[in-house]
């Protein structure tokens, strides 16, 4: 599996948008659900804005505004990114 694809599946699972019940999760549908939950345009692909929000992990302390930004593996070659980013 492509490194970015594995990262994407992990991040979507952590958000609760991807349920890992079957062997072939519908990543495109999970991307759309994640985008809809944030009020983003539903492109069903991991565009720049979607990846920006997937990188964020808020502190578990409800009083904290601290946010960690996780590194993102290279997206070239992933089947879940817009065509212009997949090359």
pLDDT of residue 23: 62
pTM of full prediction above 0.85: no
pLDDT of residue 36: 96
pLDDT digits (tens, 9 = 90+) for 42-62: 999 999 999 999 998 776 677
HEC letters along the chain: CCHHHHHHHHHHHHHCCCCCCCCCCCHHHHHHHHHHHHCCCCCCCCCHHHHHHHHEEECCCCCCCCEEECCCCCCCCCCCCCHHHHC
pLDDT over 70 at 78, yes or no: yes
pLDDT of residue 21: 62
pLDDT of residue 30: 93
């Amino acid at each position: 599996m492509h490194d970015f694809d594995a990262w994407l599946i992990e991040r979507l699972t952590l958000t609760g948008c991807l349920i890992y019940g079957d062997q072939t999760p519908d990543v495109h549908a999970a991307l759309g659900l994640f985008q809809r939950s944030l009020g983003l345009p539903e492109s069903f692909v991991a565009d720049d804005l979607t990846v920006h929000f997937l990188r964020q992990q808020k502190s578990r302390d409800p009083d904290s505004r601290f946010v960690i930004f996780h590194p993102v593996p290279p997206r070239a070659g992933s089947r879940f990114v817009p065509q212009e980013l997949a090359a």
